[in-house]
């Protein structure tokens, strides 16, 4: 279907109408309205002595991290044990404002991360893929339940000498998406479980395969020292873009020197399935990673 803009008669210019884009933005607005209604309802149920409180740059995030996800917003460095490659992630998520009620909380923020794949060449490290990811999450917390919605974008690129190194042609891989997810704290496993989906309203190079389904857990958090805790994490993503193929991540690690605002995390991850990187999105592999994370 095509849409002729007002100046088309004079110029002959035509452009495609991206119906999913307009529809998903409209649905996102509807969801925000319903969210505000839910918060207003919670407010009406509050006692008169517990008025809502708005704070800026809260110290604690109310929606948990997808710990084993290879595209989680984070600051990390990982070694691929099968070859000379490294994975660097520079970024994180920052909650910017929070509305506190007596029985609920709403938080809005921004998350930005640059994911790099590097290869050790004689004398230096060469960056050969760069992926940019940006999210604008809106989170809700009701006791042991947390919910998330928001808009996001990821674009994937070759860098430096990658084209010559791998004799490949660069593709334009871009994904603009709308996300909904839920998480629940479970005391019995010492962690939480989560599930959600992304719906892409703007995707290249493959259009009209918009769904990404995701689920996972973080569990354990077993103290072995006052400064060390052990944990495990699983993350599974299923993408319509690759014929409902999966990306599976299984992680074991420890948190070191945990503090209220930050901690160091050391982990081993086994990741198998399709590649998270857009330039290699049709490539399947299994890799082992040794990683260091700075959580904040």
163-189 pLDDT, tens digit per residue, is: 667 667 777 888 999 999 999 999 999
- CB neighbour burial string for 236-271, b if at least 16 within 10 angstroms, e if fewer: bbbbbbbeeeebbbbbebbbeebeeeebebebebeb
For 208, counting Cβ atoms within 10 Å of its Cβ (0-12 exposed, 13-18 middle, 19+ buried), the class is exposed
pLDDT at 10: 38
pLDDT band, residue 134 (cuts 50/70/90): very high
Higher pLDDT, 254 or 25: 254
Is it the case that residue 22 has pLDDT exceeding 80?
Answer: no
Whether residue 13 has pLDDT greater than 60:
no
- pLDDT value, residue 234: 98
Q: What is the CA 201 to chain-centroid distance, rounded?
A: 17
d(CA 29, CA 51): 26
Query: 42-70: per-residue pLDDT in tens?
Result: 545 544 445 678 899 998 999 999 999 99
> Is a pLDDT exceeding 70 seen at residue 35?
no
- pLDDT of 155: 93
Residue 26: per-residue pLDDT: 61
The class level of CATH for 16-47+67-295 reads: mainly beta
Which of 159-163, 173-177, 289-293 has the highest average model confidence (pLDDT)?
289-293
Q: Which pLDDT belongs to residue 30?
A: 59
What's the pLDDT tens digit per position in 104-120? Answer: 999 999 999 999 998 87
Looking at the whole model, is its pTM more than 0.85? no
Select from 158, 159, 162 the least CA-distant residue to 172: 158
Burial of 108 (0-12, 13-18, 19+ CB in 10 A): middle
The overall average pLDDT reported for the chain is 84
Q: Of 241 and 165, which is predicted with more confidence?
A: 241
More confident residue, 269 or 161: 269
Question: What is the rounded average pLDDT of the residues 224-228?
Answer: 91
Q: How far is CA 252 from CA 103, 231, 272, in A?
A: 34, 6, 15
Task: Identify the residue with better confidence: 209 or 233.
Answer: 233
- Domain residue limits, the chain: 16-47+67-295
* pLDDT reading at 5 higher than 50: no
Sequence-distant (≥ 6) Cβ neighbours of residue 134 within 8 angstroms: 110, 111, 112, 152, 153, 154
Instruction: Reduce the secondary structure of the chain to three states and give it as a string.
Output: CEECCCCHHHHCCCEECCHHHHHHHHHHHHHHHHHHHHHHHHHHCCCCCCCCEEEECCCCCCCCCCCCCCCCCCEEEEEECCCCEEEEEEEEEEEEEEEECCCCEEEEEEEEEEEEEEEEECCEEEEEEEEEEEEEEEEEEECCEEEEEEEEEEEEEECCCHHHHHCCCCCCEEEEEEEEEEEEEEHHHCEEEEEEEEEEEEEECCCCCCEEEEEEEEEEEEEEECCEEEEEEEEEEEEHHHCCEEEEEEEEEEEECCCCCCEEEEEEEEEEEECCCHHHCCCEEEEEEEEEEEEC
């Amino acid at each position: 279907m095509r849409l002729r803009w007002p100046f088309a008669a004079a110029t002959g210019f035509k452009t495609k109408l991206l119906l999913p884009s307009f529809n998903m933005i409209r649905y996102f607005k509807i969801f925000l309205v319903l969210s505000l209604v839910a918060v207003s309802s919670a407010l009406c149920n509050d006692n008169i002595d517990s008025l809502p409180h708005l704070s800026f740059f809260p110290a604690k995030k109310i929606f948990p991290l997808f710990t084993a996800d290879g595209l989680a917003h984070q600051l990390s460095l990982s070694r691929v044990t099968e070859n000379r490659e490294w994975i660097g992630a520079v970024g994180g998520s920052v909650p910017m404002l929070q509305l506190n009620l007596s029985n609920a909380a709403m938080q809005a923020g921004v998350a930005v991360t640059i994911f790099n794949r590097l290869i050790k060449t004689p004398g230096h490290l060469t960056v050969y893929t760069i992926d940019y990811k940006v999210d604008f999450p809106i989170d809700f917390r009701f006791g042991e339940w947390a919910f998330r919605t928001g808009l996001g974008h990821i674009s994937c690129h070759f860098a430096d000498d990658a084209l010559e190194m791998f004799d490949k042609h660069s593709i334009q891989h871009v994904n603009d998406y709308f996300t909904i997810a839920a998480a629940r704290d479970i005391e019995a496993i010492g962690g939480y479980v989560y599930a959600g989906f992304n719906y892409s309203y703007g995707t290249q190079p493959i259009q009209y395969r918009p769904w990404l389904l995701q689920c996972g857990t973080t569990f354990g958090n077993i103290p072995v020292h006052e400064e060390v805790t052990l944990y495990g994490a699983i993350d599974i993503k299923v993408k319509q873009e690759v014929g409902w193929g999966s990306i599976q991540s299984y992680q074991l690690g420890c948190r070191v020197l945990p503090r209220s605002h930050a901690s160091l995390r050391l982990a081993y991850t086994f990741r198998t399935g399709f590649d998270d990187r857009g330039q290699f999105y049709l490539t399947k592999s299994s890799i082992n990673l040794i990683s260091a994370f700075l959580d904040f």
